[in-house]
Structure 1
């Protein structure tokens, strides 16, 4: 199993994904869900690395070896949430029962008008967060996504809601451009949602305990949060079977501070806190884990940076991000 999740090809192909979209939209969710069984069988038989990653993760979260039926259930849960994206991104919420916790605290933070960073993960469905937009349409919601990864699925889902697609911040940009786009959005009072559990190949990361073993977590989200000085809220959209979801918001910090002299140690402390909350929800909903690769990394492939590797972690200064936004605004005005 390769720890480089970006090397894995997109499953199913463009034709299969569009076929599922068409049947789901015109035939209904019931027919779409019936298709999940052959899809699950396909992944179970054909996608060996994902199958092995699932078995390894489930053995870790349950503390015992698991059989093929547990792996099949894991893949089926993932397929179910992918199907539901068609309906959630299309604004068709009527068939879902979404229990929301922590919403008053999130409303309180957003109503300040200063912008919020919403940190999610590949645990459960991030798209169920769209329920928030339905309840408070006055909120500006921007999402950070890598458009180049899974291009067929991205293109298919973008057609469902062009407004959402227009608000996406492309994570495939260079680091300063991403930071600049996020700052511009938070300056406008937007909620910026991003996934913070996966470290890209070559991206600075630090190890934190997760399900009994050190796993690499990216440092960039925490450095951006420190530079922007905006509140950070965690979000977990857990699929509970059938048409039921649990959308949980948790306040993490009103303002993250990372001292320059103890940068690595401070970021590591933040990542450890986050990893503990991620592990808590993974144990509550174990089949919602959708990182189908070797999340921990093979021991013989080397380790990620330790707290002693502070020079490798590059900070994004708030002043630099602000200056970049001002430069872009000046260019637009001159054009």
Structure 2
């Protein structure tokens, strides 16, 4: 088992503290355009936005091209790069309508809901683990269909404040439960939410560390180098350590954008930590994060335009010939 490169650990830590940036003024403009002009006309604005991003997007635009080259197995064409960014812009616009409850504008298909139903039948809530794949807001459509489904988003306190600002900008009346991580009392709030049958959603393709987010005994999560689209990439197991610490089941969730007004919600079982003993936690967490990476890769290959992680996800990779799961603890 080899140690992860120092550069990769530094990059991982940087993403742990990087803010999910938002521009409240611009979001208010987008909200005005979306609400005033309607979705059909507003979607026309996405084309100049997409072109602007392709020309001036810098590192994010280059990351899009690099990802497409990996997932397609060949250099990405200009049209494919355009459609990838346009897909992202479309889901951002749709956030306005989804958060405002305008669900009649969309056709949402649900696949694998029985997996979530089986977990919730246990009465102890569930972790819904997703990624920067499609739109997490599409889950609101399922929540409206099933009035008893209560979903809370888990994120760091600073990002939680940014999300609140975002919501006020684009959907002032939207009600969304957010549990801010980074405090020990967050664990108690999260535990009570789950015990009451709630669902906790979080994205596992970014680092999740700090008090109240991982193994409280060590205060550390681990980085696993796992083959992803042909080369090892760093996956933090913080989300799964949190689920293991609270001894809860974990279900994968993705709200895939299929174009136009069509979305597809997908659910798949990932892990169940309900009966995992403390001395078996590391092995169970390791298997869960590897399964998560496999499921995420499967979805990227099937719907490549839905991957919206616009940074070098493979930065500091030990190389394609290295062991598929070299771990390093990150403080």
Please give the TM-score of this superposition, normalised by the length of structure 2: 0.82
* Partner Cα separation in structure 2 for residue 124 and residue 149 of structure 1: 19
2:49 is equivalent to residue 35 of structure 1: no
* Partner Cα separation in structure 1 for residue 164 and residue 88 of structure 2: 16
Q: The residue matched to 2:289 in structure 1 has which SS?
A: helix
2:250 is equivalent to residue 232 of structure 1: yes
**TM superposition shift of 1:252:** 2.2
**TM superposition shift of 1:130:** 0.6
**In the TM superposition, what whole-angstrom CA distance separates every residue of 1:106-128 from its partner, at most 9, and x where no partner exists?**
22322332111111111111100
Select which of 14, 28, 32 maps to 1:18: 28
**TM superposition shift of 1:148:** 3.2
Q: The residue matched to 2:259 in structure 1 has which SS?
A: coil
Q: State the match for 1:327 in structure 2.
A: none
**In the TM superposition, what whole-angstrom CA distance separates every residue of 1:130-152 from its partner, at most 9, and x where no partner exists?**
11211111222211134634976
**TM superposition shift of 1:82:** 0.6
2:202 is equivalent to residue 194 of structure 1: yes
- Residue pair 1:121, 1:236 contacting (<8 A) in 2 also: yes
* Partner Cα separation in structure 2 for residue 308 and residue 144 of structure 1: 25
- Residue pair 2:248, 2:273 contacting (<8 A) in 1 also: yes
**In the TM superposition, what whole-angstrom CA distance separates every residue of 1:187-235 from its partner, at most 9, and x where no partner exists?**
1110111111112589642221111111111222111211222221110
**In the TM superposition, what whole-angstrom CA distance separates every residue of 1:255-287 from its partner, at most 9, and x where no partner exists?**
356554465444222211110000001111101
Question: Whose strand proportion is higher, 1 or 2?
Answer: 2
Select which of 150, 157, 175 maps to 1:164: 175
Q: State the match for 2:91 in structure 1.
A: 81
Q: How many residues align?
A: 306
2:192 is equivalent to residue 184 of structure 1: yes
* Partner Cα separation in structure 1 for residue 222 and residue 157 of structure 2: 21
* Partner Cα separation in structure 1 for residue 83 and residue 128 of structure 2: 29
* Partner Cα separation in structure 2 for residue 43 and residue 180 of structure 1: 42
Please give the TM-score of this superposition, normalised by the length of structure 1: 0.81
2:74 is equivalent to residue 64 of structure 1: yes
* Partner Cα separation in structure 2 for residue 29 and residue 297 of structure 1: 37
Select which of 54, 61, 64 maps to 1:51: 61
Q: State the match for 2:3 in structure 1.
A: none
Q: State the match for 1:117 in structure 2.
A: 127
Distance 1:249 1:201, change over 3 A: closer
- Residue pair 1:264, 1:313 contacting (<8 A) in 2 also: no
- Pairing of 1:203-222 with structure 2 (within 5 A): 204-222=222-240
Q: The residue matched to 2:266 in structure 1 has which SS?
A: strand
- Residue pair 1:204, 1:218 contacting (<8 A) in 2 also: yes
- Residue pair 1:24, 1:86 contacting (<8 A) in 2 also: yes
Q: State the match for 2:273 in structure 1.
A: 255
Gapped regions of structure 2 (runs ≥ 5): 1-10, 211-220
Task: Please give the root-mean-square deviation of Cα atoms over the aligned residues, in Å.
Answer: 3.0
- Residue pair 1:215, 1:296 contacting (<8 A) in 2 also: yes
- Residue pair 1:259, 1:266 contacting (<8 A) in 2 also: no
**In the TM superposition, what whole-angstrom CA distance separates every residue of 1:86-106 from its partner, at most 9, and x where no partner exists?**
111111100101111111332
Ranges of 4+ aligned residues in structure 1 off by more than 6 Å:
150-153
* Partner Cα separation in structure 2 for residue 262 and residue 112 of structure 1: 22
**TM superposition shift of 1:178:** 3.7
Gapped regions of structure 1 (runs ≥ 5): 315-335
- Pairing of 1:127-146 with structure 2 (within 5 A): 127-146=137-156
